[in-house]
Amino acid sequence: MARPKIALIGAGQIGGTLAHLAALKELGDIVLFDIAEGTPEGKALDIAESGPSEGFDAALKGTQSYADIAGADVCIVTAGVPRKPGMSRDDLLGINLKVMKSVGEGIATHAPDAFVICITNPLDAMVWALREFSGLPQEKVCGMAGVLDSARFRHFLSLEFGVSMRDVTAFVLGGHGDTMVPLVRYSTVAGIPLPDLIDMGWTTQEKLDAIVQRTRDGGAEIVGLLKTGSAFYAPATSAIEMAEAYLKDQKRVLPCAAYVDGAYGLKGFYVGVPTVIGAGGVERIVDIRMNKDEQAMFDKSVDAVKGLVKACKEIDPSLA
Ligand code: A3D
């Protein structure tokens, strides 16, 4: 059986890391596409030359031609520009919307059966626009943010409790921005919810509030340190987890920016929710119960995304 084909649209910091991880994990053959001449070719060759030492079997190709992504099983989109210090994700909207148009058309023409994972910011609006431009089925187009935001939350919690990150589960929902919603009640250490851990004296409400805020600011913290771009190792790992869930039909329960129609009281809208990812793409939206406070935070986050989608429609009337 032929290996799966993974197309990476954008061969920058995240795109290159995605290619490296996909090769190390032998997820399939890899095509790196970018408009920057030489970058995808150079990264593809460099990673291929690590193959003999790592012992992986995967073909890598760099290209400026969409024809080379033909028949891809998975497309991961990072094309566009990242944040610089002082910029919000929303500042990227105008530039990256144009990029989503060309990427959406390229995928629709050459890889219409692919499972598409968007990473380009501002995430929730860009995944919506990419779906509109590509015309692919909604369940085959989603955005990576929740896995990363939850991983950041899990990391900070594991430091607070002095336990393995593997034993900390967490959910971060809503839009990928300042209004994201880390759900404390649904986050646990080996099944023990965080509020119970406060009662058990493992932490305090104040410390937990500070961790929630650090999670919300997680992207900005790294932008501030790097100064020249945004996070790329953990974002790439998070998207690979989603791609692997699809390629291996793992039915993983992962938070991602998915098309929600009916659940959460939403009508046909992309926002971060827990999903089940398997061979069908986003196979199910997990419609969890929220209390009043959680619902209010989620609604605020949804409103922020709605504002971005409205701005997209104003910039490109073909989306209206
Ligand atoms: P970067 O290293 O700049 O790579 C972007 C690549 O896109 C560059 O190599 C560009 O040449 C290429 N590009 C630009 N326009 C096009 C086009 N029309 N077609 C094909 N390629 C193009 O950025 P990065 O890899 O660090 O980040 C990529 C995106 O991910 C940015 O928008 C970030 O804001 C976003 N990001 C999202 C998250 C989430 O959690 C959602 C996290 C981190 C970064």
Identical fold at 5-144 and 146-313? no
> 307 CA to middle of ligand 1, Å?
22
Please indicate whether residue 176 is annotated as part of the active site: yes
Measure the CA–CA gap between 297 and 172, rounded to whole angstroms: 11
The domain limits of the chain are: 5-144, 146-313
Candidate list 20, 110, 155, 176, residue with the active-site label: 176
**What burial letters (b/e) apply to 284-308, b meaning 16+ CB within 10 Å?**
bbeeeebeeebeebbbebbebbeeb
Structure-token match 């404390």, residue found: 184
- Comparing C-alpha atoms, which of 163, 167, 171 is closest to residue 215? 171
Measure the CA–CA gap between 109 and 161, rounded to whole angstroms: 49
Categorize the per-residue pLDDT at 87 as very low, low, confident or very high, splitting at 50, 70 and 90.
confident
Would you say 13 is a known binding-site residue? Answer: yes
> 207 CA to middle of ligand 1, Å?
34
ipTM score over 0.90, yes or no:
yes
CB 240 within 8 A of CB 21: yes
Residue 82 has pLDDT above 90, yes or no: no
Q: Over the stretch 161-183, which tens digit does the pLDDT of each residue have?
A: 999 999 999 989 999 988 999 99
User: Which CATH number does the domain 146-313 belong to among 3.10.300.10, 3.90.110.10, 3.40.50.970, 3.40.1370.10?
Assistant: 3.90.110.10
CB 158 within 8 A of CB 168: yes
Kindly give the pairing relationship between strand 60-63 and strand 29-33: parallel
Q: Considering the entire predicted model, what is its pTM?
A: 0.97
CATH fold of 5-144 reads: Rossmann fold (3.40.50)
Q: Whose CA is closest to atom 4 on ligand 1?
A: 12
Residue 135 has pLDDT above 90, yes or no: yes
Q: Over the stretch 275-292, which tens digit does the pLDDT of each residue have?
A: 999 999 999 999 999 999
> 118 CA to middle of ligand 1, Å?
10
87 token code pair: 């910029």
Measure the CA–CA gap between 109 and 239, rounded to whole angstroms: 23
Q: Which helix H or strand E contains 29, and what residues bound it?
A: strand 29-33
